[in-house]
Amino acid sequence: MSELSELAGVSKSYLSYLERNIQTNPSLQFLNKIAVTLETDLEFLLNGVSEDDMPDVQVLDEEWKRLVQRAILEGMSKEDFVHFKEYMEFQKWQGAKKTSSKKEDEEA
């Protein structure tokens, strides 16, 4: 743990908190540092399965990878991403609700 902490440039105590489930929501930036240090990808770090081991799962294309890397570099956390995704789902729901309401008005 000490070696990983030093090589990745992260706090040993934070690694310990994660290992003991005291801290449960590391940022994408933190996870990326660990993945790079361990010479693996985020998928393997999070799920124990590498992208190479998942042939039937769609792999991120280069544009998606650049977008995710940019978000990580700009400090976006997983929690931020989840909130953004929920917001987008809400916007789609609002749009569908408005469309449905318009159709009902036109039919009346």
pTM: 0.47
User: How confident is the model over 59-84, as a mean pLDDT?
Assistant: 88
Place 75 in a pLDDT band, splitting at 50, 70 and 90. very high
Instruction: Tell me which of 9-13, 73-77, 96-100 is least confident.
Output: 96-100
More confident residue, 108 or 42: 42
- At residue 94 the predicted structure's pLDDT band, cuts being 50, 70 and 90, is confident
Three-state DSSP state, 72: helix
Geometric angle at alpha carbon 31, from 16 and 37, rounded to 5°: 85
| Cα 1 from Cα 44, distance rounded (Å) | 18
Nearest to 37 by CA among 84, 79, 4: 4
